[in-house]
A and B are shown apart, each in its own frame.
Chain A
Amino acid sequence: MRRDWETFSFHLVIGLIAVLALILLVAPTAIVLIVSFTSGFSLRFPPPGYSLRWYAALWDAWQLQFAAMNSLKVAAWATGLSILFGTAAGLGISRSSRLSAKLMDGLFMSPLILPALAFGLSSLMFFSALGLPVSPFTLIIGHTVVCVPYVVRNTVAALSQLDPTLLECSSSLGAGKVYTFRRITLPLIRPGILAGGFIAFMSSFDNVPVSLFLRDAATDMLPIRMWQDLEGKLDVTIAALSGVLIVFTVALIMVMERFTGLSRRLA
């Protein structure tokens, strides 16, 4: 009898906290999504009525569109560079017991640990010491530094799950290194590379601390634009934009889940 009560109380407490935590995780996103359909002028919940007017207002919000385009371009470049450098580096250091590989692994992961804001500031100082003005170029370089670890990590993880006998078979059947890479290794680790690239893209698109220092007047970035808008006033247009971003993100997650098993790679 006492035993039953103990099991029951344990599951009750764990279950209650878990449900509460899951609600805490979902609620903010859900609330923004609902509020973005308001017909009113304020971010009241529940909204007085529903309409698509704030989504329509996005068509005229050229500043936001301009910033969004800049963010997309920079994220695309940073992701491309990250995949290029990161995949090669992941191949180079995985399964290598050399000291140089271990040291480089530490170097590749360190942008994740150091505060991005301190890195953004140091990049600005570095480029200005070189006499290089900030530009889309410096922005892309900075984003690549903080995004590339995701590609390296996912490539290494995918390679560690690759069965070495497959590669040995291929080479013992007479295939060259390049052929084996192109026909065996690459197709098998591609989901890992794509998952890493996806996270790199999302973190570049969302980056504030590096962009804050490395953008110039002509490159307004979306998260910074939103942040500055929010500091001044609570704008329902931002809620609609958030709605668009949420839908966009969920759609991308589902596509990536389908092709790369994203959730298994992250967990």
Chain B
Amino acid sequence: MATTAPTAYDVKLAFPLGAFLAVFFLAPLAVLLVLSFQVDPKGTAYGLNQYGQFLGDAFSLGVLGNTLLLGLKVTALCLLMGYPVAYAYTRVGPRLKSLIILIVLMPLLTSVVVRTFAWIVILGRQGIVNSALMSMGIISTPLRLIYTDLGLVVALAQVQMPLMVLPLITAIGRIDPNLTDASLSLGSGAWRTFLRVTLPLSLPGIIAGSMLTYAAAITAFITQSLVGGGQMLFMPMYIYQQASTLQNWPFAAAISIIFLVAVLAVVMVFNLLGRLSRGYAST
């Protein structure tokens, strides 16, 4: 009988949580799946009607498309603004380092309602942006900033940026400084070194951060509803409306399953890219 190393604990210790999640996480998801096949809320028959209704409806497909597109815009903005923050973090002294990390962590730990509320204060009709522009005489009537696509993307980017910056810091920090030094001393300029050495080698961080930001942006119920307003409908609010306001559980279940599959597909694509990029970055 092999003796177990003293460093490894018994796998049995994980069983209570495994059982807990099987009952309260997996079983509910199974119920959701079953319910999504009900033809009507009374559950008289089972079929693919709910899925047919979603996939055959231009409005529903539009909501799904807009949600996926929103995630793309937020992720792009987070990457564009987050990368320089992570890059700067790896190049500055310890004092600035702790200041940057504190600033990056703050939004992550502040209540999401508070952060979103702040954006209403900034983007509203009497908000800071509008009153600044008006006092400078650039505009005479308040612009509509809130309840617009641009306002929502910026607000979501602020909320999700830490999820992009933290993996980037790890990835950029792992790059051997000798490589960039070599590139510079061999005559490549700063831009070329960045584009040909640093950026490709940080690909695993870019992919990990993009996955987290994307998933968080498309599921961000509160920010979407408060900054997006009633004009723009995204998948989480669509599910909530169908379930709570209209009490149409089978349809809400089917939308949820479609949304789950969409999120999982995105995660799997990112995972695949991550695996490819790790091979690329280590060669």
Contact = CB atoms under 8 A, between A and B. Distances in A.
B104 interface: yes
A205 B126 CA distance: 30
Interface residues of B, number: 96
B31 A115 contact: no
Given A96-B11, A145-B24, A125 B112 contact: no
Given A6-B191, A121-B239, A88 B88 contact: no
Contact of B109 (A35, A96, A164, A202): A202
Nearest to A253: B109
Contacts of B59: none
Contact of B215 (A44, A113, A148): A113
A110 interface: yes
Contact of A89 (B18, B154, B161): B18
Interface residues of A, number: 99
Interface of A: 2-3, 6-7, 9-11, 13-15, 17-18, 20-22, 24-29, 31-32, 35, 42-45, 85-86, 88-89, 91-96, 98, 100-101, 104, 107-108, 110-111, 113-119, 121-126, 129, 141-142, 144-145, 148, 152, 164, 167-168, 170-171, 177, 180, 202, 205-206, 208-209, 212-213, 223, 226-227, 230-231, 234, 238-239, 242, 245-246, 249-250, 252-253, 262-263, 266-267
B115 to A, nearest CB: 6
Contacts of B84: 13-15, 17-18, 21
B111 A231 contact: no
Given A25-B104, A108-B17, A168-B6, A44 B131 contact: yes
Contact of B222 (A152, A227, A242): A227
- Shortest 7 CB-CB contacts between residues of A and residues of B: A92-B14, A28-B118, A92-B13, A10-B190, A122-B32, A126-B28, A89-B17
B55 interface: no
B176 interface: no
Contacts of A29: 106-107, 110, 114-115, 118
Interface string B249-264: 1001100110110011
Contacts of A168: 6-7
Given A43-B121, A171-B6, A24 B158 contact: yes
A214 to B, nearest CB: 11
Interface of B: 5-18, 20-22, 24-29, 31-32, 35, 80-82, 84-85, 87-88, 98, 100-122, 124, 126-128, 131, 154, 157-158, 161-162, 166, 169-170, 189-191, 194, 215, 218-219, 221-222, 225-226, 236, 239-240, 243-244, 249, 252-253, 256-257, 259-260, 263-264, 267
Contact of A26 (B31, B106, B108, B221): B106
Q: Which among A45, A111, A121, A152 has the highest number of chain B CB atoms within 10 Å?
A: A121
B260 A115 contact: yes
A208 B222 contact: yes
Contact of B13 (A88, A123, A170): A88
B7 A234 contact: no
B226 A167 contact: no
Contacts of A152: 17
A266 B169 CA distance: 11
A93 B7 contact: no
B244 to A, nearest CB: 8
B14 A119 contact: no
A115 B219 contact: yes
Contact of A125 (B35, B105, B119, B122): B35
A266 B98 CA distance: 13
A3 to B, nearest CB: 6
A231 B11 CA distance: 48
B105 A142 contact: no
Contacts of B5: 95, 164
B114 A32 contact: yes
A242 B85 CA distance: 26
15 contacts: A21-B84, A45-B128, A91-B13, A107-B26, A114-B264, A117-B240, A118-B260, A123-B28, A145-B20, A202-B109, A226-B111, A226-B113, A242-B111, A249-B109, A267-B170
Q: Which among A28, A110, A119 has the highest number of chain B CB atoms within 10 Å?
A: A28
Nearest to B192: A6
